[in-house]
Amino acid sequence: MPRPTAQKTTKKTAAPARPNEIRIIGGQWKRTKLPVADKPGLRPTPDRVRETLFNWLGQDLSGWRCLDMFAGTGALGLEAASRGAAEVHLFETDAALVAQLVQLKTRLGATQLQVTRGDGVALAGRLGAASIDLVLVDPPFDTTQYTAAVAAALRVLTPQGRLYLEAPELWGAERLAGHGLVAERHLKAGAVHAHLLARA
């Protein structure tokens, strides 16, 4: 039955954390809110994981060229740009998310961001070989593109570059070796396995 409208309750409950936004956690845009659309498969990298990743990388990414292959909310790419990256490519297939990213770019005055709509794996082929210092690969967990994404990332990655891979399972040494990669760091947070990888 519906609760009587005249009845008042004195017990207060804490408001739940808003699931429709996250914040940039470091750099010049620290605490900037990023909207999170209600879309299947959209799963922003958790704060703890983002914080750990940029602790691994070092907080100053001045001059770095970065690629966020499955941008979604743009959280990873924007964290890199916020920390001084000179060039950040954000690739995303969803038109509404692309529009959101373009709005964020304008609002922040972020000229280093380049937002492109399309399949990240295919679009990576347009970038120059060995031209990217950091490739961020964080696709929807149900994707079948992991192998193709890693191959595309390796084509554009500089010899000393780093590949960040977020997946629902651990990529072990044998699997990584098949791609010519080694794990420098690994973190498991809930269902997320975060890997920082380098060429073997």
Query: Which residues are within 8 A (CB) of 177 and not within 5 positions of it... i.e. 6 or more apart?
Result: 200
Question: What does pLDDT average to over the chain?
Answer: 90
Written out in words, the top-level CATH class of the domain with range 21-199 is alpha beta
Task: Say what the pLDDT of residue 36 is.
Answer: 86
Question: How does pLDDT run across 124-165, given as a tens digit for each residue?
Answer: 999 999 999 999 999 998 899 999 999 999 999 999 999 999
Q: Which residue has the tokens 């780093």?
A: 162
Give me the pLDDT at residue 19, please: 52
Structure token digits, residue 28: 């010049």
> Would you say residue 194 has pLDDT above 90?
yes
The mean pLDDT of 36-63, rounded to a whole number, is 89
The CA distances from residue 23 to 76, 85, 106, 155, 182, in Å, are 11, 18, 17, 31, 31
Phi, psi torsion values for 41, nearest 5 degrees: 85, -10
pLDDT for 122: 97
- Domain ranges for the chain: 21-199
**pTM score, two decimals?**
0.87
pLDDT band for position 16 (50/70/90)? Answer: very low
Radius of gyration of the chain (CA): 19
Count how many Cα atoms sit within 13 Å of the Cα of residue 189 in the half-sphere of its side chain.
14
